[in-house]
């Protein structure tokens, strides 16, 4: 089975595409068609940081709406704002 490529709007290049839509509905389909595996991986890391820093609960509808908004900004608008006072972990 050959790998699927997409023009990734986040990375602005042709890259390996996702195997299936990673999110439900129209947004998931848009991500599947326009976002690469590498960009999705970047989003997953960013999402984890947001959840941890803002102490979000994925079962809270307000938190889910916030995460979805941030996902669209990150993937399609190139925004990856950090919470005020965020200090990345030392590696």
- Domain positions in the chain are 5-77
* Phi, psi torsion values for 90, nearest 5 degrees: -75, 140
Say if domain 5-77 classifies as CATH 1.10.3880.10: yes
What is residue 90's predicted lDDT score, i.e. its pLDDT?
76
Instruction: Tell me the residue ranges of DSSP E strands in the chain.
Output: 5-8, 13-16
Could you tell me which residue, 28 or 87, shows the higher pLDDT?
Answer: 28
pTM greater than 0.75 (yes/no)? yes
Predicted confidence (pLDDT) per residue in 6-23, tens digit: 999 999 999 999 999 999
Predicted confidence (pLDDT) per residue in 55-88, tens digit: 999 899 999 999 999 999 999 999 987 877 777 7
Q: Of 41, 18, 27, 32, which Cα lies nearest the Cα of 72?
A: 27
């Amino acid at each position: 089975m050959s790998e699927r490529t997409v023009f990734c709007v986040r990375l602005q290049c042709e890259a390996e595409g996702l195997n299936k839509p990673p999110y439900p509905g129209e947004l998931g389909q848009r991500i599947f068609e326009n976002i690469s595996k590498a960009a999705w991986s970047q989003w997953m890391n960013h999402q984890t940081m947001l959840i941890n820093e803002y102490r979000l609960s994925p079962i809270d509808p307000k938190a889910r709406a916030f995460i979805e908004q941030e996902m669209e900004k990150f993937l399609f608008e190139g925004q990856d704002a950090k919470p005020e006072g965020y200090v990345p972990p030392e590696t």
